[in-house]
Amino acid sequence: MTVESLVFFFLAAFAVTTAVLMILERSPLVSAIYLIANFFALAALYLLLRAQLLAVLQIVVYTGAIMVLVIFVIMLLNLGDEARGHRRVDLRTAVTVVLAAGFLAEVAYAVLGRGGRSPLRGPGPPAEALGTVESMGDALFGKFLLPFEITSLLLLAAILGAVVLARRRG
């Protein structure tokens, strides 16, 4: 087992553990902390996949901007722990978990199964410097220029929408 697969399995276990803890935790603030830990694990996985710019953006945008906003709102509303559900909720939880496990088994069978003939099983081609700032810039300001510009319109609309919605009326 190489160093890379060791790092992968450690990060994968860490990501899954923090995700499970996040949905089990009753305090929204602690949930948010677990999600931030999960985002750091994902950023490290992006580095493993040679997506350097996106690994940095994952930390800056997700943990730096989005999660800070979420934690800010949690603290602003001064939310307490979520109340324990009653019986009806437990039935719903059971059905949901069974469905999710079924989905996971289906995907695992599709990508891992078929007796090793699937091309997804073997190691991939040697990756070059794929996700550097330079190559991402080339793609974003060349081939993906129009979607990139439309993104700015989307962000503008989101800013205006957030201001209008959160403004105190009267």
Partner 1 sequence: MDVPLAYYLCLSAALFAIGAVGVLTRRNVIVVFMCIELMLNAVNLTLIAFSAYLGSIAGQALVLFVMAVAAAESAVGLAIVISVYRNRQTVNIDDINILKW
Give the shortest CB-128-to-partner 1 separation in angstroms: 7
Query: What's the token pair of residue 67?
Result: 């999660």
Give the shortest CB-87-to-partner 1 separation in angstroms: 14
Q: Which is nearer to partner 1, 87 or 124 (CB)?
A: 124
Neighbour-count burial of 50, counting CB atoms closer than 10 A to its CB (0-12 exposed, 13-18 middle, 19+ buried): middle
Q: Which is nearer to partner 1, 70 or 87 (CB)?
A: 70
CA distances from 137 to 81, 114, 142, 145 (A): 44, 39, 8, 10
**Nearby residues of 158 by Cβ (< 8 Å), 6 or more positions away:** none
Give the shortest CB-54-to-partner 1 separation in angstroms: 6
* Contact status, residue 47 vs residue 55, Cβ threshold 8 Å: yes
Give the shortest CB-84-to-partner 1 separation in angstroms: 10
* Contact status, residue 75 vs residue 29, Cβ threshold 8 Å: yes
Give the shortest CB-144-to-partner 1 separation in angstroms: 5
Query: What's the token pair of residue 139?
Result: 């793609």
Q: Which is nearer to partner 1, 83 or 87 (CB)?
A: 83
Q: In 25-144, which residue ranges form alpha helices assigned H by DSSP?
A: 28-48, 52-57, 67-77, 87-112, 133-140
